[in-house]
């Protein structure tokens, strides 16, 4: 077994994956047909061209087009099941998937019915692939804190399998600080706290998330490299960075995987996990993310496995389940180690 085979076989956990951004190209075309929609793509080749981005704002416009392709709540069951099937093929054992609920409610879909469909997909995937998944609700920062409070009302009314909240969206135009009261309430509700930060805005965006929102994890966090004091703060407070290397290249946050700050973060003592973000839209998956880090930044197999363990340790699983998963990962890892010819 060579290094690439070993990387593919490593047990993995993912913390940062968006449900809509995981929609397979063929499923996107099915959604278009189901909804009898007029879209700029009619073939898989058209979809591939559609998924080429000029910058982050262009990516957001493409994402919004995909949101409008989902016209029935029940369609989420197929999307989520296929997302988890793809994850299982990368030996991902646990997922925390992001659902941007307000995007869909504001165009007429029902929150409760969507959540039911998502959980049906999760339960089917667990039965077929032995993969576990919990849900993170993205409040979508563009809609403002008042809408955020309304979304917390939805969660209070129906919260099956929801473990955390997040704010994605246009980071440069909508800073985190106005969400302070929303996050305080979410914490009181028992929800874990995450925020996108430092993807398209500077270190100040990350500071706002960690100081005002009291987040446990930062999505992306790329800009933290520009502030040594911030990196030290993340390390000291044990705040995990959910790194998404290929995504950051595709949206222009970094120029290449070799220029990604993930190695700097780890050397600084920050706990980092590896994630695929919007895998279908970025032409990636968890195996590819690990392999890119191995080939472009020289990460060894033990280092990559440590990031798998980081994802377990900083997951929002109950402690007992976390401990069992850690033991399972270690058992699988040492079994692979016994079979491996090298750990290049």
**56-60: which pairs have CB atoms within 8 A and are 24 or more residues apart?**
56/199, 56/200, 56/251, 56/252, 56/253, 57/170, 59/250, 59/251, 59/281, 60/169, 60/170
pLDDT at 344 over 90: no
Pairing of strands 217-220, 12-18: unpaired
Contact yes or no for 210/183 (Cβ under 8 A): no
- Weakest-pLDDT range from 36-40, 160-164, 182-186: 36-40
Residue pLDDT, tens place only, 261-294: 999 999 999 999 999 999 999 999 999 999 999 9
State the average pLDDT for the chain: 96
Residue 343 lies in a domain: no
Residue 190 lies in a domain: yes
Q: What is the CATH number of the domain that holds 202?
A: 3.20.20.140
Residue 208 lies in a domain: yes
Cite the beta strand spans of 227-328 per DSSP E. Answer: 240-243, 272-274
Question: Other C-beta atoms within 10 Å of 40: how many?
Answer: 10
pLDDT at 130 over 80: yes
Residue 304 lies in a domain: yes
Phi–psi pair at 132, nearest 5 degrees: -100, 150
Residue 79 lies in a domain: yes
pLDDT of residue 31: 97
Residue 233 lies in a domain: yes
pLDDT at 343 over 60: no
Phi–psi pair at 97, nearest 5 degrees: -100, 135
Q: How many domains does the chain have?
A: 1
Rounded average pLDDT over 172-190: 97
pLDDT of residue 40: 86
Residue 264 lies in a domain: yes
Q: Which residue's entry shows tokens 């029940």?
A: 74
Indicate the burial class of 193 (C-beta count within 10 angstroms; 0-12, 13-18, 19 or more).
Answer: buried
Name the DSSP letter for residue 168: -
Between CA 122 and CA 113 the distance in angstroms is 14
Dihedral of the alpha carbons of 111, 29, 287, 128, in degrees to the nearest 10: 60
Q: C-alpha angle with apex 177: 173 to 182, nearest 5 degrees? A: 110
Q: C-alpha angle with apex 172: 135 to 163, nearest 5 degrees? A: 15
Between CA 327 and CA 229 the distance in angstroms is 35
Point out the residues that are catalytic. 199
Residue 344 lies in a domain: no
Between CA 254 and CA 250 the distance in angstroms is 8
Residue pLDDT, tens place only, 57-75: 999 999 999 999 999 999 9
Residue pLDDT, tens place only, 290-318: 999 999 999 999 999 999 999 999 999 99
pLDDT of residue 341: 56
> 2 pLDDT band (50/70/90 cuts)?
confident
Contact yes or no for 278/21 (Cβ under 8 A): yes
Residue pLDDT, tens place only, 198-231: 999 999 999 999 999 999 999 999 999 999 999 9
Contact yes or no for 97/115 (Cβ under 8 A): no
Q: What is the SS3 assignment for 73?
A: coil
Q: Which domain holds residue 308?
A: 3-338
Residue pLDDT, tens place only, 320-329: 999 999 999 9
> 35 pLDDT band (50/70/90 cuts)?
very high
Residue pLDDT, tens place only, 86-126: 999 999 999 999 999 999 999 999 999 999 999 999 999 99
pLDDT of residue 124: 98
Between CA 245 and CA 222 the distance in angstroms is 9
């Amino acid at each position: 077994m060579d290094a690439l085979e070993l990387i593919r076989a490593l047990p993995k956990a993912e913390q940062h994956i968006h449900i809509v951004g995981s929609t397979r190209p063929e499923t996107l075309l099915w959604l278009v047909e189901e909804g009898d929609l007029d879209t700029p793509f009619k073939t898989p080749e058209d979809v591939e061209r559609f998924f080429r981005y000029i910058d982050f704002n262009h990516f957001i416009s493409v994402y919004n087009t995909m949101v409008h392709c989902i016209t029935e709540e029940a369609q989420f069951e197929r999307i989520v099941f296929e997302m988890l099937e793809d994850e299982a093929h990368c030996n991902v054992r646990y997922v925390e998937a992001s659902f941007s609920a307000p995007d869909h409610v504001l165009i007429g879909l029902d929150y409760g019915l969507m959540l039911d469909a998502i959980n049906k997909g999760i339960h089917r995937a667990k039965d077929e692939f032995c993969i576990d998944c919990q849900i993170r609700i993205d409040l979508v920062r563009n809609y403002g804190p008042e809408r955020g409070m309304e979304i917390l009302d939805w969660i209070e009314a129906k919260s099956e399998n929801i473990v955390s909240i997040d704010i994605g969206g246009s980071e440069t135009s909508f800073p985190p600080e106005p969400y302070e009261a929303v996050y305080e309430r979410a914490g009181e509700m028992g929800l874990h706290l995450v925020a996108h930060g430092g993807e398209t805005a500077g270190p100040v965006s990350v500071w706002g998330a960690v100081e005002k929102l009291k987040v446990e994890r930062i999505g992306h966090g790329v800009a933290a490299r520009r502030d040594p004091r911030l990196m030290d703060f993340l390390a000291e407070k044990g705040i995990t960075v959910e790194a998404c290397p290929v995504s950051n290249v595709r949206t222009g946050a970094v120029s290449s995987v070799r220029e990604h700050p993930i190695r700097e973060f780890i050397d600084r003592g920050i706990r980092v996990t590896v994630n695929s973000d919007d895998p279908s839209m970025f032409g990636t998956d968890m195996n590819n993310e690990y392999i890119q880090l191995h080939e472009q930044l020289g990460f060894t197999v033990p280092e990559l496995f440590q990031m798998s363990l980081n994802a377990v340790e900083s997951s929002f699983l109950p402690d007992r389940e976390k401990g069992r998963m850690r033991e399972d990962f270690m058992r699988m890892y040492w079994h692979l180690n016994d079979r491996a010819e090298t750990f290049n």
